[in-house]
C-alpha cells in the first residue's frame, strides 16, 4: 500500500505516453486529416482551406501543446462530423456500454466460480476435462464468429431473440441477450481456469484436510475455507478480463449494431473523425490503466506476504 502513490504516478506516466503516441499517430505522420476528410477528388485549394480551418497547417509541437492543454482542462475538442464536443459524444455512449459490461460481469463472476469449483474439486475427472476443454475452446474463438453462429441458431432458426439491435438503441432488453452471452463465453474459460487452479491447490492444503478430518460439514469447508483462498488470487486476472471485455465490446457492439463506445469508436474510425478517435483512445487507455492499477493494489493488499518480502 505504501507503493500506491508510486504506482499512480507510473499510471499517469503511461497515460501521458499513450496520449502523445495517439496524437502523433493520428495527426502528425504523413497523410493528413484534410486529405482524408475531403477524399481523393478534392482540389489542392480545398485541402489547404480545410487545413487552415482545422489549424493543421501549424507546426505539430504547437498543435500538440494546444490539444494537451485542452485535454487537461477536460476539453477533447469537437467531432469533425457533428461539431459536437467530443466529451458529449463519449458520455452519451458510455451508458449503454456500461450496462453491457455490468450485465456481463454479473453473470461472468458467479459462473466462473461455479465452473472453476466444480472442475477443481474433481480434477482429472471427465467432468473436469470436458468442462475445461469446452470453455477454453469457446474462449479461443473470435467473438464475431462465435456471435454469428449464435445468431444463426437462436435468432434465425429458433427465433428466441432478435438478431441485432438495428442501431436504434436499446429498445428491448432482449437485444442484449446474445451480446452478453458472447462476452461471457469469451472470458469465462480464462477466469474459470484460474479459479480451478486455486481450488485445486487450496482443496488439498493441510489446513483444509484437517478441517475435514475434524468433521466440519463440507459446505462450510467449501464456502468459508476453500473458496476465499482460491478466488482471491484471481483478482489480478480480473484486470485482463476487463481489458478483454473492452476489446470484445468493440467487436460485439459492431456485430450486433448496438450503440456504445465500442461501435462509436469503429464509426469514428470509418469516418476518419480524428478528434473523436483520439477521445475514444484516451478513454480506453485510461480505463485499462486504472483497472490494472486497482487490481495491482487490491492483490497487494490481499497477499500481505509480498509486502513483507519486498
Partner 1 sequence: MRRSGSLLGSVLIGVPLLLAALGPLLSRLLGTTAPTGTSPLLPPGGDFVLGTDVLGRDVLGLALGGGTSVVGLTVGALALAYVVGVPLGLALAGTVRAWADRAVLAVLDIVLVVPSLLLLLVLAAAGRRGTWWLLAVAALISLPPIVRLVRAAASVPDRRAALETMTMLGEPWWRVRLLEAGRLVAGPVAVDAGSRLVLLVALVTSANFLGLGLAPDAVDWAVMIEQNTTALFLAPVTLLLPAALLVSLCAGANLLVDQALAHRGAS
**Can you tell me which of 7, 8, 36, 297 binds partner 1, judged by CB under 8 A?**
36
CB of 178 to partner 1, least distance (A): 13
**Can you tell me which of 19, 22, 108, 230 binds partner 1, judged by CB under 8 A?**
22
Q: Among the candidate windows 64-72, 82-90, 126-134, 195-203, which touches partner 1 by CB under 8 A?
A: 126-134
Conformation bin of residue 166: beta by default, left when phi > 0, alpha when psi is -120 to 50: left
**Which residues contact residue 203 at a Cβ distance below 8 angstroms, ignoring those fewer than 6 apart?**
120, 121, 226, 230
The reply on whether position 25 binds partner 1 by CB under 8 A is: yes
Question: What Rg, from alpha-carbon coordinates, does the chain have?
Answer: 24
CB of 272 to partner 1, least distance (A): 6
User: Could you give the string, one character per residue 248-287, with x where binding to partner 1 holds by CB under 8 A and - elsewhere?
Assistant: --xx--xx---------xx-xxx-xxx--x--xx--xx--
Of 8 and 141, the one with the shorter C-beta distance to partner 1 is: 141
The reply on whether position 146 binds partner 1 by CB under 8 A is: yes
With cell 500500500, the residue in question is 1
CB of 250 to partner 1, least distance (A): 5
Of 25 and 65, the one with the shorter C-beta distance to partner 1 is: 25
Of 287 and 303, the one with the shorter C-beta distance to partner 1 is: 287
Phi, psi angles (nearest 5°) of residue 44: -55, -35
Of 225 and 263, the one with the shorter C-beta distance to partner 1 is: 263
**Can you tell me which of 27, 96, 104, 117 binds partner 1, judged by CB under 8 A?**
27
With cell 476539453, the residue in question is 75
The reply on whether position 101 binds partner 1 by CB under 8 A is: no
> Can you list the alpha helix ranges (DSSP code H) found in 141-273?
143-150, 177-203, 206-213, 218-220, 227-231, 235-255, 261-270
**Can you tell me which of 101, 108, 163, 261 binds partner 1, judged by CB under 8 A?**
163
Q: Of 74, 58, 62, 64, nearest to 22 (Cα)?
A: 64
How is 105-165 classified by DSSP, letter by letter? HHHHHHHHHHHHHHHHHTTTSHHHHHHHHHHHHHHHS-HHHHHHHHIIIIIIIS--S-S--
State the Cα–Cα distance between residues 230 and 234, nearest whole angstrom.
8
The reply on whether position 174 binds partner 1 by CB under 8 A is: no
**Can you tell me which of 97, 132, 187, 234 binds partner 1, judged by CB under 8 A?**
132
Residues between 217 and 246 with contacts to partner 1, criterion CB under 8 A: 243, 246
**Which residues contact residue 25 at a Cβ distance below 8 angstroms, ignoring those fewer than 6 apart?**
none
Of 79 and 225, the one with the shorter C-beta distance to partner 1 is: 79
Sign (positive or negative) of CA dihedral 251, 92, 76, 41: positive
**Can you tell me which of 102, 114, 152, 174 binds partner 1, judged by CB under 8 A?**
152
Angle at 216 between CA 210 and CA 222, to 5 degrees: 85
**Can you tell me which of 129, 210, 224, 306 binds partner 1, judged by CB under 8 A?**
129
Residues of this chain that bind partner 1 (CB under 8 A): 14, 17-18, 22, 25-27, 29, 31, 36, 126, 129, 132-133, 136-146, 148-149, 151-152, 156, 163-164, 243, 246-247, 250-251, 254-255, 265-266, 268-270, 272-274, 277, 280-281, 284-285, 288-289, 292
Amino acid at each position: 500500500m505504501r507503493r500506491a502513490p508510486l504506482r499512480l504516478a507510473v499510471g499517469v506516466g503511461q497515460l501521458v505516453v499513450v496520449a502523445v503516441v495517439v496524437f502523433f499517430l493520428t495527426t502528425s505522420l504523413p497523410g493528413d486529416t484534410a486529405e482524408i476528410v475531403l477524399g481523393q477528388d478534392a482540389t489542392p485549394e480545398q485541402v489547404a482551406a480545410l487545413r487552415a480551418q482545422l489549424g493543421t497547417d501549424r507546426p505539430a509541437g504547437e498543435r500538440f501543446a494546444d490539444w494537451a492543454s485542452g485535454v487537461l482542462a477536460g476539453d477533447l475538442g469537437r467531432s469533425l462530423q457533428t461539431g459536437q464536443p467530443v466529451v458529449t459524444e463519449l458520455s452519451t455512449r458510455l451508458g449503454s456500454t456500461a450496462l453491457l459490461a455490468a450485465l456481463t460481469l454479473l453473470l461472468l463472476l458467479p459462473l466462473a466460480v461455479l465452473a472453476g469449483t466444480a472442475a477443481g474439486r474433481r480434477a482429472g475427472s471427465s467432468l473436469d476435462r470436458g468442462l475445461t476443454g469446452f470453455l477454453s475452446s469457446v474462449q479461443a474463438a473470435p467473438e464475431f464468429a462465435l456471435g454469428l453462429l449464435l445468431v444463426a441458431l437462436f435468432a434465425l432458426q429458433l427465433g428466441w431473440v432478435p438478431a441485432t439491435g438495428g442501431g436504434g438503441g436499446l429498445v428491448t432488453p432482449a437485444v442484449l441477450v446474445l451480446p452478453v452471452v458472447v462476452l461471457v463465453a469469451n472470458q469465462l474459460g480464462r477466469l474459470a481456469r484460474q479459479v480451478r487452479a486455486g481450488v485445486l491447490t487450496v482443496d488439498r492444503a493441510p489446513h483444509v484436510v484437517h478441517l475435514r478430518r475434524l468433521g466440519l460439514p463440507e459446505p462450510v469447508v467449501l464456502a468459508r475455507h476453500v473458496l476465499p483462498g482460491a478466488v482471491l488470487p484471481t483478482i489480478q486476472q480480473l484486470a485482463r478480463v476487463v481489458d478483454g471485455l473492452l476489446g470484445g465490446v468493440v467487436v460485439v457492439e459492431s456485430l450486433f449494431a448496438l450503440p456504445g463506445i465500442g461501435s462509436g469508436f469503429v464509426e469514428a474510425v470509418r469516418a476518419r473523425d480524428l478528434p473523436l478517435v483520439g477521445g475514444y483512445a484516451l478513454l480506453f487507455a485510461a480505463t485499462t490503466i486504472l483497472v490494472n492499477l486497482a487490481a495491482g493494489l487490491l492483490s497487494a493488499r490481499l497477499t500481505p506476504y509480498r509486502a513483507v518480502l519486498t
